[in-house]
Structure 1
Amino acid sequence: MTPEIKKKSRGLIRYCWITLGCLTLTLGTIGIVLPILPTVPFYMLTLFCFAKSSDRLHTWFIQSELYQKHLADFVQHRSMPLKSKLTIMGTVTGMMAIAIWAMQHMPEIQLLIAGVWFVHVLYFIFGIKTTR
């Protein structure tokens, strides 16, 4: 591969990361007002995408009020307030319950969904410290 082609492919990959970061930022922001979308996981993905693509975007996101309010404590201390944990677990439980109900004729899929839900709850209980 020539250096020019490598440079173009790196630029294309960079724009893909920026696009994905903007998409996850949008979905996370919508999740603030629409409880069916989880804000924190989308913002974590935004942080990752911006870190991979642009120092300027990464710095902007870290300094934004959205990051400070919804993600900074988790990233810095690996902890969450009890209210946030309960909100996330309640939302995920509701969505998983709907998915299990929708798959009532597919017991294997129901078991898979229940397993994912169980691991999620265990992670939130034992993997993330609770702050008051």
Structure 2
Amino acid sequence: MNKCKKFICVSVGLICFTLGAIGIILPILPTTPFLLLASFFFVKGSERFDIWFKNTKIYKKHLDSFVKEKAMTLKQKMTILLFADFMMAFPLIILDSLVIKCIIVLMIIIKYYYFLFVIKTINN
């Protein structure tokens, strides 16, 4: 990967990390999805940033259990599901295409299946 792509990945990772950190304070922003994105971009962009990120308290508190055990707290699951539903509601309301609406509903069903039956729920 060239330096420009690595720079972009690290930059997007830092933006996602910042949004995830803000989400800890503001309940309207979901923390876990932004931190997962940050992790993805840090892995792609820089080994040094990836190591730094995985050693932060934020990573250890919010993502470590998911990465190691494929498990989340009920609060994390609900936050992600509700935020995703909120975002998916807009195209359902705005678009007229029945095909697109069916695809979005199918995505919602798959998302709920995955969160309910694949990802384990752990206690705080």
TM-score (norm 1): 0.77
Aligned residues: 122
Match 2:93 to one of 71, 80, 101? 101
Partner of 1:84: 76
Which of these two proteins has the greater Rg computed from alpha carbons? 1
> Structure 1 residue 44: deviation in Å?
1.5
- In structure 2, relative to structure 1, the CA distance for the partners of 1:128 and 1:98 (3 Å cut) is same
Whole-Å separation in 2 of the counterparts to 1:14 and 1:97: 34
2:41 alignment partner AA: C
Match 1:66 to one of 37, 42, 58? 58
**Gaps in structure 1 of 5+ consecutive residues:** 1-8
Q: Secondary structure at the match of 1:130?
A: strand
Whole-Å separation in 2 of the counterparts to 1:46 and 1:128: 20
Greater RCO (CA < 8 Å, at least 6 residues apart): 2
Whole-Å separation in 2 of the counterparts to 1:112 and 1:14: 33
Match 2:8 to one of 10, 16, 27? 16
Cα deviation per residue 1:81-100 (whole Å; 9 max; x = unaligned)? 12221222222223323431
| Paired residues of 2:20 and 2:30 also in contact (CA < 8 A) | yes
Match 1:116 to one of 101, 107, 113? 107
Match 2:119 to one of 113, 120, 128? 128
Over the residues paired in the alignment, what is the CA RMSD in angstroms? 2.1
Answer yes or no: is 1:38 the counterpart of 2:46. Answer: no
Whole-Å separation in 2 of the counterparts to 1:11 and 1:98: 37
Cα deviation per residue 1:57-109 (whole Å; 9 max; x = unaligned)? 11221121221221111011110112221222222223323431222x33222
Partner of 1:6: none
| Paired residues of 2:32 and 2:76 also in contact (CA < 8 A) | no
TM-score (norm 2): 0.82
**Gaps in structure 2 of 5+ consecutive residues:** none
Q: Percent identity?
A: 35
1:64 alignment partner AA: T
